[in-house]
Amino acid sequence: MAVHHAWSADDIGDQTGRRVVITGGNGGLGSITARVLAEKGASVVLACRDLVKAAEVADSIDGDVTVAELDLADLASIGAYAHQQGQFDVLINNAGLMNTPFRRTVDGFEMQFGVNHLGHFALTALLMDRIGDRVVTLSSIAHAHTPKLWINDLNYDGRPYQRNLAYAQSKLANLMFARELERRLMAAGSPVRSYGVHPGVSGTDLFARTETFFDRVGVFGARVVGHEPVKAAESSLFAATENVDPTVFWGPTGLLIQSRGPVRAARSTALSQSKAMWARLWAKSEAMTGIKFVIPQADQGMDVKGGDHVANA
């Protein structure tokens, strides 16, 4: 599909028969994504840590929406969730933390990198044999806000913690992961595709978790330079439903910082395009999580549902 007009959620076709898992769908962009897909006929699973909020979101949506417990800061929780999840079509790696104080996950990872990247890496690996159509991973324009990927100290074991750089590193990792996953899927002849997207900037509660004064002004500032959450969610919805080039970084391109506007082919840094770094990050992620990420071969009979697949570009 070539994008020549300002795509919107109104362009989404009937999603009846498609099954979608969304991480962090208990609020923000995830809840909007869930609502739109359910209203279009999809069956949606909100895989969340906060089951109370997730249940409130599910109950507010007119459609097939269920809730499952998933804590991306705990590999045991990820494994437990993956064990009970059946075949489905689309995984949307949406959950995330931004600019939080220094903390570690249950397994000892720096929290932002642990949740945003390693948690989703582990989840996708454990679900890979049950994903029939595609994986959508949310990165950010903040992937460009770090000068490097500290591949030998991703966990902040030997350097001072800088919350903004930690966030940027995790979002760079998200984009590298999406691209390396797509490369490996293509090499395996798999019909499954992997997309990396960014939502631009939007005044969601993601901007109110720093536990600093920034919480009071972050949402306001995001509203000034960004766009409404319903528009920001369109990047995920676009990648989840349209047959477009998976090697493109999809997201808004408005203003110099790409903070708002319709979904287009967005810019990304040269670092994010380094195939050598994709491979190194992949190997490090396997080592840190202890999970061997196996890509099913095309002849393994993957259960693919939900209509036409994304054309290989």
For 34, 117, 256, the CA distances from 122, given in Å and listed in that order, are 22, 9, 34
Does the annotation count 161 as an active-site position?
no
Query: Is residue 268 classed exposed, middle or buried when 0-12, 13-18 and 19+ CB atoms within 10 A define those classes?
Result: buried
Dihedral sign for Cα atoms in the order 225, 214, 172, 67: negative
The continuous run of DSSP H or E covering 47 comes out as strand 43-48
What is the rounded CA–CA span in Å between residue 72 and residue 70?
6
What is the rounded CA–CA span in Å between residue 55 and residue 78?
19
- Considering the candidates 81, 156, 167, 195, report the single residue annotated as catalytic: 167
For 51, 64, 88, 93, the CA distances from 59, given in Å and listed in that order, are 12, 10, 21, 22
Alpha helices, DSSP H only, in the chain? 28-39, 51-60, 75-84, 111-113, 120-127, 163-187, 214-225, 229-232, 234-241, 275-289
Q: Which of 63, 53, 3, 60 is nearest to 25 (CA)?
A: 53
Do the beta carbons of residue 35 and residue 61 sit within 8 Å? yes
For the chain, what percentages of helix, strand and coil (3-state, to nearest 5) are there? 45, 15, 40
End-to-end CA distance of the chain: 11
For 22, 199, 312, the CA distances from 133, given in Å and listed in that order, are 14, 21, 13
Report, as residue numbers or ranges, the catalytic residues.
167
